[in-house]
Structure 1
Amino acid sequence: MSDVTFKHPDYVKNFPLWGKVDDVCKGQKAVKDKREVYLPRNNPQDKTIEAQGFYDSYLQRAVFYGVTGKTLGSLVGAAFATDPTFKYPPELEHLERNANGAGVSLYQLSQSALRHILKHYRCALYVDFPDVGPSRNRAEEKAKQAYPMVHLLASKAVVNWDTMIVGNQMKLNLVVIEESVSERGQDGFSIESKTQYRVLRLEDIGQGDVVYTIEVYTKSDKDVWVGNGRKIPTDYNGDPWSYIPFTFVGAVDNSTQIENSPLLELADVNLAHYRDSADFQESVYYMGQPQYYVTGVDWNWFQEARKNGVYVGSKTLMPIPKDGSFGIAQVEPNTLAREAMKDKWQQMKEMGARLVEKGSASKTATEANNDDAIQHSVLSLCTANINEAMSMVLRWCAKFVMPDVNVLTKDDLLYEISQEFNKQGYLADLSRQLFESAVQGHSSFKSWWEYNQSGMFPKQTYDEERLNLEAEQEGKLDLTGE
């Protein structure tokens, strides 16, 4: 009997690691809510109420520093400091504002994709199209209000997959996607979530041909997963697909293989730093306060002092017996836990945690470049893989709405995240040179103006710059961008 809920062994192995990085990136509340998972008890065998109270205090005093989450935000911000380049034919103009059917643009999808890759090593992109017949013309296409949509899937959503050899190519022949569907309750306000599985298959139809099918599985009243019938999607020309319009996007490559996420090691050290913080804060709480003591007293003096009270202060006289003494015991600083925290803090910095420390020494240019190289070698590869996946996805979208996608070039269809993560910044000399070039008629004033506004050299082709220059000379250039 087939089981649509079966999970791939690699999925099962990596699922706890993905959850750990997610919790660490969410911050202190998510980490502390897991209690013993990330902060073990000192005496796990003791289940008494008193031991529980001690652990609750131990947990409350611990401090978790959100280094991994801040690093994630910093890396995504670096990749998207410059807006991606997006070129598309009129048939795909909706992707710029609503790429997934929920009002999320392709730009925002690519940001989310990078976050998933950095946290989980991979995510997936999947293209679908409403179940409508082929259109005879562009007007009929618009009347249907049917658009290809790009769906970003987290690593946790793709629970199973498999490949097959077709000719001399390896293709995905099975993808199982776990989906959560919300339904409004009978009262009109409450919401009930149900799980369903979307199964994408590449089926052999004989004579070496394969066809792409979709089937959705839901749970019946008898608590059995039942398929709702297979559908065969077709492209613009009404032809079935010979592959699944689905691709994994990874930190190393876009294959089905799974490696450790780029932020996993940093998350592990972040949690170790958290445990050291708990030990340090406990030491401060129990050993940081001074302890008063009296020597040379008997039981009678103690009972009398207990009855009348003992007052400590510079203006208070404390009578003590002959040969007695009064003192304050102050423990020596316990630096072991603190030193362990400092060591791990330095390790996190070396792993790419970009933290601003007041009063720290300035880095030399060589040191700064080396730090960037460590981070950007991973970040560059992630963005390059997203760019490659997006190129395929856009062609799949075009195949749903255009008769021939082979005529499209990079000037017609392109999505590219810039890998120039270090913004050069505004240079007065370059601005002056651009202005002088514009005065001499060698370049356009528009390029000079855009540089002064953004601090970045305008990205445009030679022909685009030539047209701008000609329009300026004729007094027809529109600087409003409308």
Structure 2
Amino acid sequence: MPVQSTNPDYDAHIVEWEMMDDALEGECAIKRKDRNLPKPSGMVEAEKLDAAGNKYLYQNYTDRAQYEHWVRDSLRSMMGLVSRLIPEIALPSGLKALENNATSDGFGLKQLFFRMVRQAISHGRVPLVVNIDDAGEPYFSTYATRNAINWDVADQSGRQDLVLAVFREFRKKGGDRYSHDTETVFREFFMRGDVCYTSVRDEGGQLVEDERPLGTTGADNRLVKGLSYIPVIYCGSTDNSPEVDEVPLLTMARAALKSYQLSADYFTSLHQTSHPQPWVSGLDEAVELSVTGPSAAWDLGRDGKCGYLEFQGAGIEAVRTAMEDQKGAALEAGAKVMDVGGTESGEARKTRQNDQHATLHSIVVTVAEAMEQAIRYAAEWKGYDPKQVKFAVKPEFITPAVDAQVLTELQKAVMAGTVSADTYWMYLTTGKLPERAYDEEVKVMTIEGLSDRRGVGLEE
């Protein structure tokens, strides 16, 4: 089979992903595809008679339709909530640079987290690849969902792990610095024996970059030990397995598309209602009527008759009601994904909600887990202890309010030496008390006391 071969799950979901691409791009993308607005039968028959001359009928029908940007607006609102979250990051000393320079285009871990959450919300799938650059430094790449075309899972040392991952890439053609022409290539990761290999092929299957093994590196960045797994994570909306997860905003996108189709009929009906069609009959052959309008008068002759064919619009209200129903369905779907309330633990909430739908809460937890796993891959690749890696995000979207009375009592406790200044400061800035045992609080107070004595000694 050729390198362009696709996974059956990819084929089953590509239409959904393309729909989400169009929904996020907006009305222009929706109107570029005739399939999003089927032609009424009358327009189909008119084009059979004169395709070029009657093309304007469908064009006007499309122009009057209105696509609502519910998906794009909802995604922006959700990302506004996510942008308030602060990841807790711990890295081995040799990987500290990743915090500010982690992606192939030079952005840090926090920005990578936001990118992945955004794509998980909009498409339900974020292919994340760990790689090593020419200087031997690790970095992370994400792919558009539609460009992760193939993958396969098989038994590896008694576990079901990835044995193939293929991605479509677009490389700029050389020769003209002003040109934006690209050529398509395919980057593949595959297991050969117990070692992961990678290569790049063109559309004809010819090697563009030779097959090479991936593995841990020594001080000279040379291969020390072959990597025994494919460093690819398919981050989903509910878990991080290679299987395709649901698209959280798909219901909203479908409602927006149906509203768009209804709006074409609605606004066409309004147009026809406000522009009645004149008719005449019984005219002599010599009579010519070439002008209509409020300033025109017709001489119909002795036997001529005229009138208006007015569009009654009896179904307009029904169409408008149907559009409102679609809006309600879209808002309900968005509210389910936006569900961020509750006091239960993250894992308990995630377990409960996975049986229902992907929520912003579960998506944030899932993406953070994928990020942590990817950084651990990078640490292991470079010879560091993966256990030193931590990337965690508490999905707390509601900013707690600071209670003035509690703050006053905390201040008194600090002055009395029963609560640390760190606890007081955390509550003042976040509205939350630190989650630690009392013996840990005592250690913090002890450190603060040592710092104070050192400070006094310096002043003396």
TM-score, length of structure 2 as denominator length? 0.79
In the alignment, which of 373, 383, 388 is matched to residue 402 of structure 1? 383
Deviation of 1:272 (Å): 0.6
Give the equivalent residue in structure 2 for 1:104.
Answer: 107
Q: Tell me the matched-pair count.
A: 419
Determine if the alignment matches structure 1 residue 29 to structure 2 residue 35. Answer: no
Q: In the alignment, is the contact (CA less than 8 A) between 2:249 and 2:334 conserved in 1?
A: no
The one-character-per-residue Cα deviations of 1:296-325 (angstroms, maximum 9, x if unpaired) are xx989xx9x99999769xxxxxxxxxxxxx
Give the equivalent residue in structure 1 for 2:348.
Answer: none
Q: CA RMSD in A?
A: 3.9
Deviation of 1:85 (Å): 1.4
Determine if the alignment matches structure 1 residue 213 to structure 2 residue 163. Answer: no
How far apart in 2 are the matches of 1:26 and 1:306?
44
How far apart in 2 are the matches of 1:159 and 1:253?
19
Q: In the alignment, is the contact (CA less than 8 A) between 1:122 and 1:248 conserved in 2?
A: yes
* Residue segments in structure 1 that go unaligned for 5+ positions in a row: 132-144, 205-209, 313-325, 355-364, 367-372, 478-482
Give the equivalent residue in structure 1 for 2:361.
Answer: 380
Are the structure 2 counterparts of residues 194 and 377 from structure 1 closer, same or farther at C-alpha, using a change threshold of 3 Å?
closer
Deviation of 1:20 (Å): 0.5
Aligned pairs for 1:254-269 within 5 A: 254-269=240-255
Deviation of 1:226 (Å): 3.1
Determine if the alignment matches structure 1 residue 52 to structure 2 residue 51. Answer: no
What is the letter of the counterpart of residue 112 of structure 2? Answer: L
The one-character-per-residue Cα deviations of 1:119-168 (angstroms, maximum 9, x if unpaired) are 2221121111136xxxxxxxxxxxxx531111122222221111221232
Q: In the alignment, is the contact (CA less than 8 A) between 1:68 and 1:353 conserved in 2?
A: no
Aligned pairs for 1:150-169 within 5 A: 150-169=140-159
Deviation of 1:432 (Å): 3.0
Aligned pairs for 1:72-471 within 5 A: 72-130=75-133, 145-185=135-175, 187-204=176-193, 210-218=194-202, 225-226=206-207, 228-237=209-218, 238-288=224-274, 334-352=316-334, 378-403=359-384, 405=385, 408=387, 412-455=388-431, 462=440, 465-466=444-445, 469-470=448-449
Deviation of 1:457 (Å): 5.1
SS for the counterpart of 1:4 is coil
* Residue segments in structure 2 that go unaligned for 5+ positions in a row: 219-223, 297-306, 343-351
Deviation of 1:171 (Å): 1.3
What is the letter of the counterpart of residue 16 of structure 1? Answer: V
How far apart in 2 are the matches of 1:180 and 1:291?
53
How far apart in 1 are the matches of 2:410 and 2:277?
73
The one-character-per-residue Cα deviations of 1:1-47 (angstroms, maximum 9, x if unpaired) are x421111121122112100011112222221222x221121133432
Give the equivalent residue in structure 1 for 2:18.
Answer: 19
Deviation of 1:267 (Å): 0.7
Deviation of 1:393 (Å): 0.9
Deviation of 1:53 (Å): 1.0
The one-character-per-residue Cα deviations of 1:362-385 (angstroms, maximum 9, x if unpaired) are xxx99xxxxxx9899622222222
Deviation of 1:442 (Å): 3.1
Q: In the alignment, is the contact (CA less than 8 A) between 1:276 and 1:340 conserved in 2?
A: yes
What is the letter of the counterpart of residue 193 of structure 1? Answer: T
How far apart in 2 are the matches of 1:286 and 1:277?
14
SS for the counterpart of 1:200 is strand
- Ranked by relative contact order (alpha carbons within 8 Å, sequence separation 6 or more), the top structure is 1
TM-score, length of structure 1 as denominator length? 0.75
Q: In the alignment, is the contact (CA less than 8 A) between 2:200 and 2:209 conserved in 1?
A: yes
How far apart in 1 are the matches of 2:95 and 2:291?
87
How far apart in 2 are the matches of 1:309 and 1:278?
26
Determine if the alignment matches structure 1 residue 42 to structure 2 residue 40. Answer: yes
Deviation of 1:288 (Å): 3.5
What is the letter of the counterpart of residue 88 of structure 2? Answer: T
Are the structure 2 counterparts of residues 154 and 467 from structure 1 closer, same or farther at C-alpha, using a change threshold of 3 Å?
farther
